[in-house]
Amino acid sequence: MMNYTIRDDFINKIEVKKSVFITYLYKVYDIESCNNLISKIKEKHSDATHCCYAYIIDNYQKASDDGEPSNTAGIPILEVLKKNKINYCLAVVVRYFGGIKLGAGGLIRTYSLAAKEALNLCNRVSLIDGYRVLIELDYNQIDKLEYLLKENSIVEKNFDEKLSFIVDIEEEDLNKINSYNYSILEKRKIEKDL
């Protein structure tokens, strides 16, 4: 089970034996977003030698060596994500060849290092089981509800005849809102600061 994700998109650059490796980390929730981001990076770095990547979205994983020798780039990047229990993340490592061949072992170490260094430098958040919930209430209940939800994120508030909140709430906190009229919209992972 992957327990963390990145808080924000992140870029890092390293140089190994005159080759430059630029690592992009993106928070992603679907494969289409991954494909779009990979296309944009390939377009932006059209002069790069390789754009290798890996991503994990829930139980779905994918890796690409983009022309590097088989299993020397994408799989090492994926292994770094898995070892760090990272979910909902796309890691792309762009390589500009510097003229010195690294060999299979060197490529594996360098792509792993590029991904690991970027992950170590970026901000991460925990992923906790939770729900997206719609709560409907009267205006005189708002203060009490906001107090109860201070640890959870209020996604949206609607002020009509009655008030409605859309809230991401941790599974263990669901009992706090039992006195309110609520419905569960979806089960999801909730981000929480480390």
User: What domains lie within the chain, and their CATH numbers?
Assistant: 4-122 (3.30.230.30), 127-193 (3.30.70.120)
pLDDT band at 151 (very low <50, low <70, confident <90, very high): low
Question: What integer is the mean pLDDT of 112-116?
Answer: 98
At residue 13, the 3 state secondary structure works out as strand
Given a cut of 60, whether residue 77 has pLDDT beyond it is yes
Q: What is the pTM of this model?
A: 0.84
What residues have CB less than 8 Å from 145, skipping those under 6 apart? 135, 137, 165, 177, 180
Please give the pLDDT value at position 2. Answer: 61
- Cα separation, 142 vs 120, whole angstroms: 40
Given a cut of 60, whether residue 113 has pLDDT beyond it is yes
pLDDT band at 175 (very low <50, low <70, confident <90, very high): confident
When computed from its CA atoms, the radius of gyration of the chain, rounded to whole angstroms, is: 21
Contact 55, 89 (CB under 8 A): yes
Of the chain, the percentage scoring pLDDT greater than 70 comes to 97
Question: What integer is the mean pLDDT of 15-32?
Answer: 96
- Cα separation, 118 vs 17, whole angstroms: 19
C-alpha to C-alpha distances, 191 to 6, 16, 153, nearest whole angstrom: 10, 34, 9
pLDDT band at 153 (very low <50, low <70, confident <90, very high): confident
pLDDT band at 90 (very low <50, low <70, confident <90, very high): very high
pLDDT digits (tens, 9 = 90+) for 24-72: 999 999 999 999 999 999 999 999 999 999 999 988 999 999 999 999 9
On average, the pLDDT of the chain sits at: 91
